[in-house]
Amino acid sequence: MGKISGIFNILATPFSADYAVDYDSLRCLARFQMDIGAQGLTILGVLGEAAKLSVDERKAVMDTVVETVAGLIPIVVGTSHSELSTCIALSEAAFEAGADGVMIAPPPMEDKSDRAILALYEEIAETISGPIVVQDFPPINDVIMSPQVLAQIAEAIPNARYLKLEDPPLMQKIDAIRHYSDQFEIFGGLGGMFLLEELGRGASGTMTGFAFTEILVAVYEAFKDGRQREAAAIFDKYLPLIRFENQPVINLTIRKALLQRRGAIENATPRPPFNPIDAGTQAEIDWLLKRVGIDAPTQKVCL
């Protein structure tokens, strides 16, 4: 199993013009992310539009990425599902395919108590023996997990020692969790907007779909090596792009547009339903890239 640490790119799922999964672009995108330094991939997350894919499509995406990566970097597979049995089946399939971990958020729950949340993860862990990344992102399920219950999960379930934290205020919640337990490896998200501060609070990295993974890797490596001033300078230089890309409502569409501009995918359109971006937003992307000194290629990087 690969080490789950550092900068994990949440891989987009490319679609063709008729909204079918574009497996050629998916292979290209996985290789592209490895080439620009991704230290791991998280597939079938929110950015990967997992909720819009059938179970068979999710398995095919997983198999394609695992085969393409060929063990060179670790892969975490999002296996959240409204039906617990399907979540467990997807998780088992992920580990059988060679994944290094699975990322699971609670499904929408009537009983959202700490006791019910802990019982859910205990039930999952009775079947799944591989590493579980607990996903704490209330907008996808309307479930708020307290620092206390997250600490209880880490203490009670040995293979659930990873947390993807996207419930602001992030840094305060990191400290709150640490007050009760130091067992979690904590990863940020939210587009990387708080990566520098998260690292300062002891985060192990981030999992995000930001289209310029190499920037986040440079921040992480500088910080890890004790070059905090350099890490801050890199982060501050590109923060306007990080901020713009992570706009609510259209962040997925912007990220896919940037990946297409970088030559990593053939078609930028998400699968419906999605929120399009207008010509003004495209022009703002051009302006931002110039402001931060990025010359994004427009040719396809994979043959």
pLDDT tens-digit profile of 211-262? 999 999 999 999 999 999 999 999 999 999 999 999 999 999 999 999 999 9
**Which residue do the tokens 């230089």 mark?**
237
Query: How far apart are the C-alpha atoms of 185 and 75, rounded to whole Å?
Result: 16
Query: How far apart are the C-alpha atoms of 246 and 287, rounded to whole Å?
Result: 16
Average pLDDT in the 39-59 region?
A: 95
Tokens read off for 281? 């937003």
The SS3 call for residue 91 is: helix
- Please give the distance of CA 200 from its chain centroid, rounded to a whole number: 20
Residue 269 lies in a domain: no
* pTM higher than the cut 0.85: yes
Environment class of 272 (CB within 10 Å of its CB; exposed 0-12, middle 13-18, buried 19+): exposed
Phi, psi of 253 (to 5 degrees): -65, -40
Q: What is the pLDDT of residue 298?
A: 58
- What tens digit of pLDDT does each residue of 148-185 get? 999 999 999 999 999 999 999 999 999 999 999 999 99
The SS3 call for residue 207 is: strand
- Please give the distance of CA 238 from its chain centroid, rounded to a whole number: 19
Q: Among residues of the chain, what percentage have pLDDT more than 70?
A: 97
Residue 257 lies in a domain: no
pLDDT band at 3 (very low <50, low <70, confident <90, very high): confident
* Segments forming the whole domain that contains residue 20: 6-248
Residue 258 lies in a domain: no
Residue 142 lies in a domain: yes
Q: What is the pLDDT of residue 300?
A: 66
Residue 160 lies in a domain: yes
Residue 104 lies in a domain: yes
Is the pLDDT at 302 greater than 90? The verdict is no
Give the DSSP per-residue string, 264-277: S-S--PPPSS----
Kindly report the number of other CB atoms within 10 A of residue 105's CB atom.
24
Question: Is the distance from CB of 261 to CB of 284 less than 8 angstroms?
Answer: no
Environment class of 230 (CB within 10 Å of its CB; exposed 0-12, middle 13-18, buried 19+): middle
Number of domains forming the structure of the chain:
1
Tokens read off for 164? 């993807």
Query: How far apart are the C-alpha atoms of 183 and 156, rounded to whole Å?
Result: 10
Is the pLDDT at 303 greater than 60? The verdict is no
E strands within the chain? 6-10, 40-43, 75-78, 101-104, 132-136, 162-165, 185-188, 205-208
Question: Is the distance from CB of 205 to CB of 39 less than 8 angstroms?
Answer: yes
CA angle 50, 102, 96 (to 5 degrees): 100
Is the pLDDT at 271 greater than 70? The verdict is yes
Here the CATH number for the domain that contains residue 87 is 3.20.20.70
pLDDT band at 1 (very low <50, low <70, confident <90, very high): low
Residue 264 lies in a domain: no
Query: How far apart are the C-alpha atoms of 48 and 26, rounded to whole Å?
Result: 11
Residue 208 lies in a domain: yes
- What tens digit of pLDDT does each residue of 61-120 get? 999 999 999 999 999 999 999 999 999 999 999 999 999 999 999 999 999 999 999 999
Task: Name, in order, each residue with C-beta under 8 angstroms of 279's C-beta and a sequence gap of 6 or more.
Answer: none
